[in-house]
Amino acid sequence: MKLINFDEKNRTFHLSNGSISYLLGIENEDALSHLYFGKAIKQYHNSRKYPTLDRSFSPNPSESAIFDRGFSLDTLPQEYPSFGHGDFRNPAFQLKQPNGSFITDFKYQNYEIISGKPTLEGLPASYVINQDEAETLIINLVDNLLNMTLKLYYTIYANRDVIARSSQLINNGSEKVTIDKIASASIDFPANDYELISLPGRHIKEREIQREVIQRGIKIFESKRGASSHQSNPFVALVSEKTDEFSGEAFGFSLVYSGNHEFLVEKDQFKQIRLMCGINPYTFSWVLSPNELFQTPEALIVYSANGLNGMSQIYHELLRERVARGKFQYAERPILINNWEATYFDFDAEKIKGIVDQSSELGIELFVLDDGWFGKRDDDISGLGDWYENSSKLKGGLKGIANYVHDKNMQFGLWFEPEMINQDSDLYREYPDYAIQTPNRSMSKGRDQFVLDFTREDVRANITQQMCQILDNVEIDYIKWDMNRHITEAYSLSLGAENQGEFFHRYILGLYEMLEKLTTKYPDILWEGCSGGGGRFDAGFIYYMPQSWTSDNTDAIDRLDIQYGTSLVYPPSTMGAHVSAVPNHQTGRITGLDIRGDVAMGGVFGYELDLRTLTESEKDIVKTQVAFYKQYRQLLQYGQFYRMISPFESNLAAWSFVNKDQTESIAFYFSKTVVAAAPLDIFKFVGLDANKQYLLDDIVYGGDELMNLGVYINPQIHGDYQSRKFVLKAI
Ligand code: DGJ
* Local structure of 515: helix, strand or coil: helix
Q: How many angstroms does the Cα of residue 156 sit away from the middle of ligand 1?
A: 39
- Closest-lying ligand 1 atom to the alpha carbon of residue 533: 3
Query: With contact defined as beta carbons under 8 Å apart, do 570 and 541 qualify?
Result: no
Q: Distance from the CA of 480 to the center of ligand 1, in angstroms?
A: 9
Judged by DSSP in three states, 477 sits in: coil
User: CB–CB of 153/165 below 8 Å?
Assistant: yes
Distances (CA, A) of 335 to 212, 251, 422, 575, 601: 38, 35, 32, 13, 10
Axis-axis angle for helices 593-600, 556-566 (nearest 10): 10
In which band, very low, low, confident or very high, does the pLDDT at 183 lie, cut at 50, 70 and 90?
A: very high
Among 205, 374, 482, 547, name the best residue to mutate to test ligand 1's pocket (greatest count of ligand atoms within 8 A of Cβ).
482
C-alpha dihedral over 121, 123, 129, 130, to 10 degrees?
A: -40
Shortest-distance Cα residue to atom 6 of ligand 1: 340
- The DSSP symbol for 48 reads T
The Cα–Cα gap between 625 and 608 comes to: 14
The predicted model gives 672-689 an average pLDDT of 93
As a whole number of angstroms, the distance between CA 168 and CA 184 comes to: 9
Nearest alpha-carbon partner for 234 in 534, 561, 446: 534
- Choose one of 339, 347, 371, 607 to mutate for the ligand 1 pocket test, by most ligand atoms within 8 angstroms of C-beta: 371
Distance, CA of 86 to CA of 69 (rounded, Å): 12
Give whole-number Cα distances, 375 to 213, 304, 379, 384, 469, in Å. Answer: 51, 50, 11, 7, 14
Whether residue 251 contacts residue 556, with contact meaning beta carbons closer than 8 Å, is answered with no
Looking at CATH, the fold of the domain delimited by 4-322 is given as Beta-galactosidase; Chain A, domain 5 (2.70.98)
Q: Where are the beta strands (DSSP E) in 201-260?
A: 210-213, 217-222, 232-239, 250-256
Which pLDDT does position 297 carry in this prediction?
A: 98
The residues, ordered by sequence, that sit 6+ positions from 690 with a Cβ below 8 Å of its Cβ are: 702, 703, 704, 707
Residue nearest to atom 2 of ligand 1 (CA): 532
Distance 362 CA to ligand 1 centre (A): 24
- Binned at pLDDT 50, 70 and 90, residue 713 comes out as confident
- Residue nearest (by alpha carbon) to ligand 1 atom 11: 371
Residue ranges, comma separated, of all CATH 2.60.40.1180 domains in the chain are: 652-730
Q: C-alpha angle 461/465/467, rounded to 5°? A: 120
Element (H, E) at 315: helix 307-322
Ligand 1 atom with minimal separation from the 338 CA:
5
Residue 278 scores a pLDDT above 90:
yes
pLDDT tens digits, one per residue of 354-368: 999 999 999 999 999
- Name the band, by pLDDT with cuts 50, 70 and 90, for residue 27: very high
The half-sphere exposure of 436 on its side-chain side, counting CA atoms within 13 A, is 26
> What are the backbone dihedrals phi and psi of residue 285, each rounded to the nearest 5 degrees, phi first?
-155, 150
- For residue 730, CA distances in Å to 567, 692, 695, 726 come to 26, 6, 6, 13
Q: What tens digit of pLDDT does each residue of 602-643 get?
A: 999 999 999 999 999 999 999 999 999 999 999 999 999 999
Q: Ligand 1: which of 370, 419, 480 to mutate, judged by most atoms within 8 Å of the beta carbon?
A: 370
The confidence band for 29, taking pLDDT boundaries of 50, 70 and 90, is confident
Instruction: Quickly name the fold that domain 652-730 has.
Output: Immunoglobulin-like (2.60.40)
In angstroms, rounded to a whole number, what is the distance separating the alpha carbons of residues 515 and 527? 10
Residues with CB under 6 A from ligand 1: 340, 370-371, 415, 482, 484, 530, 532-533, 549, 552
Number of H helices, E strands in the chain: 12, 38
Q: What is the rounded distance in angstroms from the CA atom of residue 228 to the CA atom of residue 448?
A: 21
Using alpha carbons only, give the angle 179, 181, 187 rounded to the nearest 5 degrees. Answer: 135
Tell me, what amino acid is at 694? Y
Range(s) within the chain of domains with CATH label 3.20.20.70: 336-500+532-638
548, 261 contact by CB (below 8 A):
no
pLDDT for the residue numbered 28: 87
What average pLDDT does the structure give for the chain?
Answer: 97
Total residue count of the chain as it appears in this document: 731
The DSSP H or E segment spanning 667 is strand 664-671
At 147, the pLDDT band (50, 70, 90 cuts) reads: very high
Percent of the chain scoring above 90 in pLDDT: 96
Contacts of 168 (CB under 8 A, 6+ apart): 150, 151, 153, 293, 294, 295, 296
Ligand 1 nearest atom to the CA of residue 549, by list position: 3
Residue 65: pLDDT band (50, 70, 90) is: low
In ligand 1, which atom is closest to the CA atom of 552? 3
Mean pLDDT lowest among 58-72, 201-215, 310-324, 379-393: 58-72
Using the atom order of ligand 1, give the atom closest to the CA of residue 531: 3
Q: State residue 182's pLDDT score.
A: 98
What's the CA gap between 188 and 31, in Å, rounded?
14
Any idea of the CA torsion for 530, 304, 185, 326, to the nearest 10 degrees?
Answer: 40
Distance CA 707, CA 267 (A): 39
Nearest-CA residue for ligand 1 atom 9 is: 532
Contact 611, 593 (CB under 8 A): no
**pLDDT (mean) for 17-43:** 96
In the chain, residues under CATH classification 2.70.98.60 are: 4-322
The secondary structure of the chain in percent helix, strand, coil, rounded to multiples of 5, reads 20, 30, 45
The residues near 176 (Cβ < 8 Å, ≥ 6 apart) are 98, 287, 288, 289, 290
Q: For residue 376, is pLDDT > 80?
A: yes
Read off the pLDDT of residues 80-91 as tens digits, 9 standing for 90 and up: 999 999 999 999
Q: What's the mean pLDDT in 148-175? A: 98
**What is the distance in A from the centroid of ligand 1 to the CA of 530?**
8
The β-bridge relationship of strands 4-7 and 134-143 is: unpaired
Query: How many whole angstroms from its chain centre is CA 72?
Result: 37
CA 549 to ligand 1 center in whole angstroms: 9
Separation of 482 CA from ligand 1 center, angstroms? 7
Instruction: State the sign of the Cα–Cα–Cα–Cα dihedral 313, 314, 315, 319.
Output: positive
User: What pLDDT is recorded for position 1?
Assistant: 79
Q: Which of 541, 549, 553 has most ligand 1 atoms within 8 Å of CB, for mutation? A: 549
Superfamily name and number for 336-500+532-638: Aldolase class I (3.20.20.70)
Q: Ligand 1 mean position to 371 CA, how many Å? A: 7
> Which residues are catalytically annotated?
482, 552
- 131 phi and psi, to 5 degrees? -60, -30
Beta-carbon-side half-sphere exposure of residue 440 (alpha carbons within 13 Å):
0
> Please, is 708 exposed, middle or buried when counting C-beta atoms within 10 Å of its C-beta (0-12, 13-18, 19+)?
exposed
CA 574 to mean position of chain CA atoms: 9
Determine the pLDDT at residue 64. Answer: 61
| Spacing, Cα 481 to ligand 1 middle (Å) | 9
Q: How far apart are CA 110 and CA 142, in angstroms?
A: 9
d(CA 578, CA 595): 12
Pocket test residue of 552, 553, 580 for ligand 1, highest count of atoms within 8 A of CB: 552
Residue in 597, 588, 683, 604 with CA at minimum distance from that of residue 636:
604
Span of 66-80, 194-208, 691-705 with lowest mean pLDDT: 66-80
